[in-house]
Amino acid sequence: MKIKLLIKKIIETLQSLVLPLCSVMPITSSLFFTFFSRDFYYEHQAILKARLKYSKSNGQHGRSSALLRRNIHRIEKGLVMRPRRNVFALDYLSETLSAFNSAMNHSNFSRSEQQWAIDVLSEYFSVVDLTQATIKKNYHLFKSIIVNTQITDKKPYQYKDKVCHNVHYDQLFALTQARRSTRWFTNQAVELEQIKLAVKVALQAPSACNRQPYQFYMIDEQPLLGQLASLPGGTAGFADNIPSLIAVVGDLSYYPYTRDRHVIYIDASLASMQFMLALETIGLSSCPINWPELYTLDKKVSKLLGLPQYKRVVMFIAVGYPDLTGQIAFSDKKVPDDMVVKVKA
Ligand SMILES: Cc1cc2nc3c(=O)[nH]c(=O)nc-3n(C[C@H](O)[C@H](O)[C@H](O)COP(=O)(O)O)c2cc1C
């Protein structure tokens, strides 16, 4: 133990010595993380493995296709443009039809995703110039793929026709105030159906190009629950009291480019917030749990959850029925005046 601490101290001292020099330029910063720190090792490898997975599977992920979702989304954006052009999407149309074909030939592919693609592509081909060579070729391919399929209405629509809500600002504010990180729960089991109900709300969250590159893993069986609950340091003192744990897992292999490596964290976090608010409305409480970027922990969690390296834990969320006598932190919030920066021209 003493030797371990000594090595840690030596590394930290060495790092603090080279830090000023290494932080001068991007290249010297990279040298720092090559020779003086292993902080990015596992993450770099995860990103490369993700790119490899993407190129091998052509963006398909089981019942869903990141490539198809992205391109159908791009076509929808083209359809809602003002003015709408009668020739667009040429540079990715063939790629889209190829992904569409794979999706339609995949026996277990998401029916909902297939229908969205069918409806948007139908709309696209009904408004573009079919004499244009690329469009013409892909239109014929589309017609041959959609034989015996029905067209529905999963396509762009006007704002006035969208779903209405009657949630008042005060009601939303009260809901956000009522959600508080809760660490003490009763031992009542959390039903899978309740989690799915909350996830249904979570899935309404925005996501980059509508790819939704994450999943919610529910863990409520021992010994796995105990092993996972005690992994992140932030559960010390209440890990044994968590009846159900959600691992929010992002899939880096939804992206062909490294530049999108942060998107899983953004998309999954937006969805997680809606998930926690939805839990509150059905009588469940929650506490988000930090997942540190430590490759030793990543290895452990990947093994316990059976995750390939490109699937990354974004956070854990403890979920349960609240123990009404359990204390919750006051957690004072900042005020808007200090948080909004009005930028002047
Ligand atoms: C990304 C994130 C990580 C968190 N990690 C932990 C954690 O590891 N352990 C814990 O007890 N609470 C954790 N929390 C809960 C915060 O402590 C809590 O959100 C904050 O104090 C504000 O309190 P409130 O959620 O009741 O508004 C985390 C929250 C977030 C958003």
Ligand 1 centroid to 165 CA: how many Å?
Answer: 30
Name the amino acid, one letter, at 290: N
Residue 146 scores a pLDDT above 80 = yes
β-pair partners for 317:
246, 288
Mean pLDDT of the chain: 96
Q: Which of 2-16, 191-205, 207-221, 287-301 has the lowest mean pLDDT?
A: 2-16
- The finding on whether 300 has its CB within 6 A of some atom of ligand 1 is no
- Residue 164 has a pLDDT of 96
Q: Residue 193 to residues 196, 259, 301: CA-CA distances in angstroms?
A: 5, 36, 25
Amino acid 39: pLDDT: 87
CB of 234 sitting under 6 A from ligand 1: yes
Does residue 331 have its Cβ closer than 6 Å to ligand 1?
A: yes
Q: In the predicted model, is pLDDT for residue 1 greater than 80?
A: no
Nearest-angstrom CA–CA distance, 49 and 251: 11
> Is the pLDDT reported for residue 23 higher than 80?
yes
Instruction: Evaluate if residue 8 carries a pLDDT over 90.
Output: no
Domain ranges (residues) in the chain:
2-54, 60-145, 169-320
Q: Is the CB of 290 under 6 A from ligand 1?
A: yes
pLDDT at 182: 98
Does CATH number 3.40.109.10 belong to domain 169-320? Answer: yes
Other Cβ atoms less than 10 A from the Cβ of 176: the count is: 14
Question: For residue 245, which of 328, 311, 313, 326 has the smallest C-alpha distance?
Answer: 313
For the beta carbon of residue 328, count every other beta carbon within 10 angstroms: 13
Which pLDDT belongs to residue 2? 84
pLDDT(16) > 80: yes
pLDDT digits (tens, 9 = 90+) for 98-126: 999 999 999 999 999 999 999 999 999 99
Phi-psi region of 128 (alpha: psi -120 to 50; beta: other; left: phi over 0): beta
Q: Is the CB of 288 under 6 A from ligand 1?
A: yes
What's the pLDDT at 208?
98
The residue whose two tokens read 């956070």 is 315
CB 54 within 8 A of CB 311: no
Task: State pLDDT tens for residues 240-295.
Answer: 999 999 999 999 999 999 999 999 999 999 999 999 999 999 999 999 999 998 98
pLDDT range class, residue 61, cuts 50, 70, 90: confident
Task: Tell me the CA–centroid distance for residue 287 and ligand 1, in Å.
Answer: 6
The number of the ligand 1 atom at minimal distance from the alpha carbon of 234 is: 8
Q: What is residue 41's predicted lDDT score, i.e. its pLDDT?
A: 86
Average pLDDT over residues 66-70: 98
- How far is 55 from 18, CA to CA, in rounded Å? 38
Helices (H), 58-132: 66-79, 90-105, 111-127
Tell me the H-state helices in the chain: 2-22, 26-31, 41-57, 66-79, 90-105, 111-127, 133-145, 169-178, 192-202, 224-229, 263-281, 295-305, 336-339
181 Cα: distance to centroid of ligand 1 (angstroms)? 6
Average pLDDT rounded to a whole number, residues 327-336 = 98
For residue 218, what are its two tokens?
Answer: 């529910």
Task: Say yes or no: CB of residue 182 within 6 Å of ligand 1.
Answer: no
Q: Are residues 111 and 83 in contact, defined by beta-carbon separation less than 8 angstroms? A: no
Instruction: Taking residues 53-68, report their average pLDDT.
Output: 93
Q: Give the angle subtended at the CA of 68 by the CAs of 66 and 70, to the nearest 5°.
A: 65
Indicate whether 211 pLDDT > 80: yes
180 Cβ below 6 A of ligand 1: yes
Q: How confident is the model at residue 52 (pLDDT cuts 50, 70, 90)?
A: very high
Percent of the chain scoring above 70 in pLDDT: 100
Q: Residue 82 is encoded by which pair of tokens? A: 């003002």
Q: Is the pLDDT of residue 11 over 80?
A: yes
Amino acid at 18: V
Q: What angle do CA 322, 327, 333 make, to 5 degrees?
A: 100
Question: Both tokens of residue 143?
Answer: 């017609």
Which among 277, 293, 306 has a CA at the least distance from the CA of 215?
306
At residue 194, does pLDDT exceed 90?
yes
